[in-house]
């Protein structure tokens, strides 16, 4: 629910919601929002509906004449007092939302995304939407960005590369961790005090770290090129990727 609230404010999909009288958390009596069915049936939806042309609340008489409804004056004054004065002020300076906006269940969310029909949306759809709209950049990505600013202009794309470059789940997992920089090398083990020495790799004299071992290491680089030669000879191809392309799954 909290996520839904976030989504709501982020996308402003319910822009009419602010002025609606019913089920509005800003308009409450004893902490309960209101829904008075008989009033809804008379077409009373928005704060603006109960304001007169000079922006004041209708008198009881004016109200009863306008909506052809007999109401208890206490009930009416309860409603009026439940509307916060700043919200009333705001309603005064905004036109009432159209009736159409109440009936439509289709909303547009983000530029470039298809419209959504709320009446068929399930939990899964909201979850997906929430994920898609996630703008928090992972820490690991920030570090990669420092090193390769040009490659990480659209960082979320990098994660899509993973799925294009391999079908194997283990490889995908590895790439995913690598992008998030959650692969554990001896550098991390040392940090966590799980190994004592300054953490050298067995085949190279440099300290083991994500960047060195996967990207910069000479030993690893020659391994890559041998692997490519073998592959190219076997498959009669001519493919070579730089260490950076390999590390970031950059095969486009
Ligand atoms: Zn090395």
Q: Which residue has the tokens 């008198």?
A: 59
User: What share of the chain has pLDDT > 90, as a percent?
Assistant: 16
> What is the structure's pLDDT at 133?
60
- Ligand 1 mean position to 185 CA, how many Å? 13
pLDDT band at 96 (very low <50, low <70, confident <90, very high): confident
Counting DSSP H helices and E strands in the chain, the numbers are 14, 4
Smallest Cα–Cα separation from 220: which of 168, 172, 185?
A: 185
Q: Average of pLDDT values for 5-13?
A: 55
Average pLDDT over residues 151-163: 81
Task: Give the Å distance between the CA of 209 and the centre of ligand 1.
Answer: 9
Last residue of one domain, picked from the residues 83, 104, 125: 104
Residue 5 lies in a domain: no
Question: By mean pLDDT, which of 29-33, 130-134, 211-215, 246-250 is the weakest?
Answer: 130-134
111 shares a domain with 185: no
What's the CA-to-centroid distance between 78 and ligand 1, angstroms?
75
The verdict on 114 and 44 lying in the same domain is no
DSSP string, 65-114: HHHT----HHHHHHHHHHS-HHHHHHHHHSPPPPTHHHH--EE--STTSP
- Structural domain that includes position 112: 105-135
Lowest mean pLDDT of 32-46, 110-124, 148-162, 196-210, name the range: 110-124
Q: Is residue 217 part of a domain?
A: yes
In terms of domains, do 75 and 109 share one?
A: no
Same domain, residue pair 170 and 211: yes
For residues 70 and 129, membership in a common domain is answered with: no
In a domain, 252, yes or no: no
Residue 230 binned pLDDT confidence (cut-offs 50, 70, 90): very high
Return the percent helix, strand and coil in the chain, to nearest 5: 55, 5, 40
Q: Do 21 and 88 sit in the same domain of this protein?
A: yes
Residue 172 forms part of a structural domain:
yes
Shared-domain flag, residues 145 and 243? yes
Domain count, the chain: 3
Domain membership flag for residue 1: no
Residues 117 and 145 in one domain: no
Note the pLDDT of residue 121.
Answer: 66
Verdict on whether the full-model pTM lies above 0.85? no
- Ligand 1 centroid to residue 238 C-alpha, Å: 26
Residue 82 lies in a domain: yes
**Rounded Cα gap, residues 240 and 122, in angstroms:** 45
Contact between 41 and 113 under an 8 Å Cβ cutoff? The reply is: no
User: Is pLDDT larger for residue 149 or for residue 107?
Assistant: 149
Query: 33 pairs with which residues across the strands?
Result: 28
Beta-strand relationship, 106-107 and 116-117: antiparallel
**143 and 238: one domain?**
yes
Residue 73 lies in a domain: yes
Task: For residues 151 and 138, give the distance between their C-alpha atoms in angstroms, rounded to a whole number.
Answer: 15
Q: How far is the CA of 152 from the centre of ligand 1 (A)?
A: 25
Residue 184 domain-assigned? Answer: yes
CA distance 36 to 82: 14
Residue 204: DSSP 8-state: S
Q: How far is the CA of 143 from the centre of ligand 1 (A)?
A: 20
Q: Which helix (H) or strand (E) holds 233?
A: helix 218-235
Residues 57 and 23 in one domain: yes
Please tell me whether residues 38 and 99 are part of one structural domain.
yes
- Ligand 1 midpoint to CA 161 (Å): 26
């Amino acid at each position: 629910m909290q996520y839904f609230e976030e989504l709501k404010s982020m996308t402003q999909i319910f822009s009419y919601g602010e002025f609606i009288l019913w089920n509005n958390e800003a308009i409450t009596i004893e902490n309960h929002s209101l829904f008075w069915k008989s009033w809804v049936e008379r077409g009373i939806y928005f704060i603006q509906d109960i304001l007169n042309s000079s922006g004041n609340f209708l008198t009881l008489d004016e109200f009863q004449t306008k909506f052809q409804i007999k109401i208890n004056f206490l009930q009416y004054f309860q409603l009026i007092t439940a509307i916060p004065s700043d919200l009333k002020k705001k309603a005064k300076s905004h036109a009432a939302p159209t009736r159409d906006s109440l009936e439509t269940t289709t909303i547009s969310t983000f530029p470039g995304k298809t419209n959504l029909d709320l009446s068929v949306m399930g939990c899964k759809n909201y979850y997906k939407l929430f994920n898609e709209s996630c703008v928090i950049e992972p820490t690991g990505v920030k570090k990669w960005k420092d090193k390769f600013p040009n490659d990480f202009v659209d960082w979320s794309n990098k994660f899509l590369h993973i799925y294009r470059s391999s079908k194997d789940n283990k490889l995908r997992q590895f790439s995913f961790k690598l992008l998030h920089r959650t692969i554990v090398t001896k550098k991390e083990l040392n940090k966590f005090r799980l190994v004592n020495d300054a953490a050298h790799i067995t085949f190279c004299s440099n300290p083991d770290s994500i960047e060195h071992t996967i990207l910069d290491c000479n030993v690893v680089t020659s391994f890559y090129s041998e692997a490519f030669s073998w592959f190219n000879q076997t498959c009669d191809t001519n493919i070579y990727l730089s260490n950076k392309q390999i590390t970031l799954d950059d095969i486009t």
